[in-house]
Amino acid sequence: MISEKMIMLGKKRSVIREIFEYAKKRSNEIGRENIYDFSLGNPNVPAPSCINESIVKCIKNEDPVLLHGYTSAQGDLNVRNIISENINQKFGTVLTADNIYITVGAAASLTISINAIALPDDEFIVFTPFFPEYKIWVEAAGAKTVPVASDQDTFQVDIQKFEKAISVKTKAVIVNSPNNPSGVVLTEDTIQKLCSVMNKKSLEFGHPIYLISDEPYRELVYGNIKVPYLINYYDNTFICYSFSKALSVPGERIGYVVVSNKMENSLDAYAAICGAGRALGYVCAPSLFQQIIAKCINETTDISIYRKNRDLLYEGLTKLGFHCIRPDGAFYLFMKSMEPDANKFCEKAKKYELLLVPGDDFGSPGFVRIAYCVKTEQIINSLPAFEKLAKEYQ
């Protein structure tokens, strides 16, 4: 009599969670320092000092009834003003506080956006590899995901395949750049082609096709890489942002949705975002952390550590003969499995205490995800183990 679907969702541990439990067990057996756990996307660089300093300041100076009290459902007006002004400064947009809805992190940004627009029978296009929870969230909203394979060399959108997959049922397209699990950043050229198809098809079908941009890794890019701000390329865009990665506060659950001011029926769309937040039980985002992110909006965690890790890992693995997709952002590297079944490859890797995640759950069998948000010495120490793994396939 309980919802079987929910039981299943609760019981079926994600593959990543399984590996996490294995890592704990194995650590107890041979010591944490002898395990090369690359399974979890949990930032390992501490939050910038601004975070804890701002918390202490708020506690000292603010009225506790206000500081810990309800804010309006869409978030504190002053904080929304600071967020919209910050975006305008960075990307030349003309957003106001009324385009911003503060959320309990990226997952909430996405479930709220999906539920705001989803109707039964709707299709949401996603590009492989994609974050597996998208499917769960879209299905929970009564719609379905349509996965489209990315170009297998560049992991950019395969525009021809995309154009074939789009249909009159397509309600939205979800993009995630920098990407989890590939680390790939969509180029401006890709974005322009994608938006051009979407505009054409919206016109053809007589209804807007929405673009949902999931971008918690926006600030985590290495080198001279531009992450296009999608509101400047496509009108019917929802931006789903989170401070989890940029400020290393993933447990604090704080992010936002931007409803583009240029969206068709923008006011209705914003109202639907408020409605969906209400229906899902999100009363407001954590009030103390609303104040904190406003005070730290121009800060980021020390990204140079991730960059160093990326360089060491990409160069090290490539030298060993592994085929890796060069990641320009996030803290993941996507690597070709040396045998067709990535699950078997990951099992072999375990023999050398290397914990990798098979790409199957991300919709990309034959690949593995390596999360390099780990201590740099783990990367250095793991390379001999990767070498032994490579030798198995010579």
Site for its own copies in 231-250 (CB under 8 A): 248-250
* Count of residues in contact with its own copies, rule CB under 8 A: 76
Query: Judged by CB under 8 A, does residue 133 bind its own copies?
Result: yes
Give me the least distance between CB of 337 and its own copies, in Å please: 27
Give me the least distance between CB of 359 and its own copies, in Å please: 21
Taking the C-alpha atoms of residue 355 and residue 353, their distance in angstroms, rounded to an integer, is 6
Query: Smaller CB distance to its own copies: residue 149 or 303?
Result: 303
Closest by CA position to 215, among listed 245, 187, 177: 177
Query: DSSP of 227-268, one letter per residue?
Result: ---GGGT-SSEEEEEESTTTTT-GGG--EEEEE-TTSTTHHH
Query: Smaller CB distance to its own copies: residue 58 or 320?
Result: 58
Query: Smaller CB distance to its own copies: residue 126 or 349?
Result: 126
Query: Judged by CB under 8 A, does residue 215 bind its own copies?
Result: no
Out of 59, 77, 203, 225, which residue is the one contacting its own copies (CB under 8 A)? 59
Query: Candidates 134-142, 184-192, 363-371, 377-385 — which segment interacts with its own copies by CB under 8 A?
Result: 134-142
Out of 274, 297, 383, 390, which residue is the one contacting its own copies (CB under 8 A)? 274
Taking the C-alpha atoms of residue 209 and residue 211, their distance in angstroms, rounded to an integer, is 7
280-319 footprint of its own copies as x/- string (CB under 8 A): xxxxxxxxxx------------------------------
Taking the C-alpha atoms of residue 116 and residue 79, their distance in angstroms, rounded to an integer, is 23
Edge-to-edge strand list for the sheet holding 144-149: 100-103, 255-259, 237-242, 210-214, 170-175, 123-128, 144-149
Structural contact between residues 112 and 103, judged by C-beta atoms closer than 8 angstroms: yes
Cα separation values, 328 from 194, 210, 228, 283, 344, Å:
20, 26, 14, 36, 28
Query: Judged by CB under 8 A, does residue 18 bind its own copies?
Result: no
Query: Candidates 44-52, 91-99, 188-196, 382-390 — which segment interacts with its own copies by CB under 8 A?
Result: 44-52
- Read off the DSSP letter of residue 98: G
Query: Judged by CB under 8 A, does residue 208 bind its own copies?
Result: yes
Query: Judged by CB under 8 A, does residue 255 bind its own copies?
Result: no
Bridge partners (DSSP) of residue 367 are 336
Give me the least distance between CB of 266 and its own copies, in Å please: 10
